A and B are shown apart, each in its own frame.
Chain A
Amino acid sequence: MPPMSKPASEPSPESYSRTFPSATAAFLSGIRAALSSVFFLVIGGTYIGMGALAHDFDLSSWWLALSTVLVWAGPAQVILISALGTGAAPIEVAVAVSMSGIRLFPMVVALMPVLRRPNMRVRDMILPTHFTSVSMWVESMRHLPSMPREFRIAFSNGLSVGFMGTATITGFIGFYLAAGLPLLFAAALLFITPMSFLISTARNARMFMDKSALVIGLILGTALTAMQVELDLMWTGIGGGTLAYVIHRIREARAGAST
């Protein structure tokens, strides 16, 4: 018998602290969890700002809505909007978007074992894979372990639909607010994106390496943009990220050597 089929340690459905009468109930409960999450406010603020940004760069509100559904990653969308708006080279946009999306890879890798259930088809995983984002990942990892495996995908999809719906609607709101607001308030809307990105990145930076990558990225991003270097975001990521990683490895080696 292959070891992957069903671990003997898997608890019975009755032993979970939270269960549902049906998959639909789990899905609806996921939506409710999204609307009461701290990410509801963060996503609302971010996408109001993103709507203002899209308006600022002459993209349509429907283009923004489609980008929210298809890309579903705040940083990638901001890079895409600002790069398209400033007429960056297509290859630079694609590389910068792709570099910002790397973080999704370890999240999917960590999430799939939690979502997996017996007799699962590959197509059951298509939606959760596409839905994977920082907000959905954090809340899924928090909620799912307390519920039976058969309801986890439905709950997680509900969570994602709640977040994505919030993002789509607030994107429209930000877009039309920016169109009609006085200059100062339109500027304040545009300021939401960098402000909330700065703070949410800092909040996620628990290790020294993450903090140094943040500081190095701020400095390098400023320097390369000021010097008008081509592909500045890509070099900021690869150069700054690798530097932070190397510093982290040296510190680890020193800590290991001194003990």
Chain B
Amino acid sequence: MNIGMTELWPYLLLVLLGFLPNEVWRVFGLVLARGLNEDSQIVVWSRAVATAILAGVVAKLILFSSGSLAAIPLGVRVGAAVFGFLVFLVAKRSAFAGVAAGEAALLIGGYLFVG
């Protein structure tokens, strides 16, 4: 029973903490689709909240990395992110160019400082 629980536990967490809290907004949207437009204040505020959360996730993953990424020095991680962002701005807001440049900078910096 213990083994079964250990194997099923991540899937139960997936449904309870991942699927349901996320899906509820889609269902709300379906139910309330007639009532609101994109300019209503609650929609504007929720967009700001969603953007700030995403930014928080980005900061956490870059500054407080775990696993293999933690082996890359903090300065290289931040420098690569800044470089990728600058390339994105320069390259006519091309997401692909920005991500590719950030990745290249991380690989080069990692190679130089970690070996």
Contact = CB atoms under 8 A, between A and B. Distances in A.
Among A106, A184, A200, chain B packs the most CB atoms within 10 A around the CB of A106
A13 interface: no
A41 B103 CA distance: 15
Contact of A110 (B38, B48, B58, B61): B38
Q: How large is the interface on A (under 10, 10 to 19, 20 to 34, 35 or more residues)?
A: 35 or more
Interface of A: 38, 41-42, 45, 56-57, 59-60, 63, 66-67, 70-71, 73, 75-80, 82-86, 90, 93-110, 112-113, 125, 129-130, 132, 178, 183-188, 190-203, 205, 209-210, 213-222, 224-225, 232-233, 236-242, 244-245, 248
Contacts of B85: 198-199, 202
Interface residues of B, number: 73
Interface of B: 10-11, 13-30, 32-33, 35-38, 43-69, 71-72, 77, 80-81, 84-85, 88, 93, 95-96, 98-99, 102-103, 106-107, 110-111, 114
Given A70-B19, A82-B60, A188-B110, A242 B32 contact: no
B29 A108 contact: yes
Main secondary structure of the interface of A (DSSP, over half): helix
A100 B50 contact: yes
A41 B95 CA distance: 10
Contact of A198 (B21, B23, B81, B114): B81
A82 B17 CA distance: 13
Contacts of A192: 99, 103
9 contacts: A99-B49, A100-B57, A102-B49, A105-B25, A130-B26, A195-B98, A214-B54, A233-B53, A236-B55
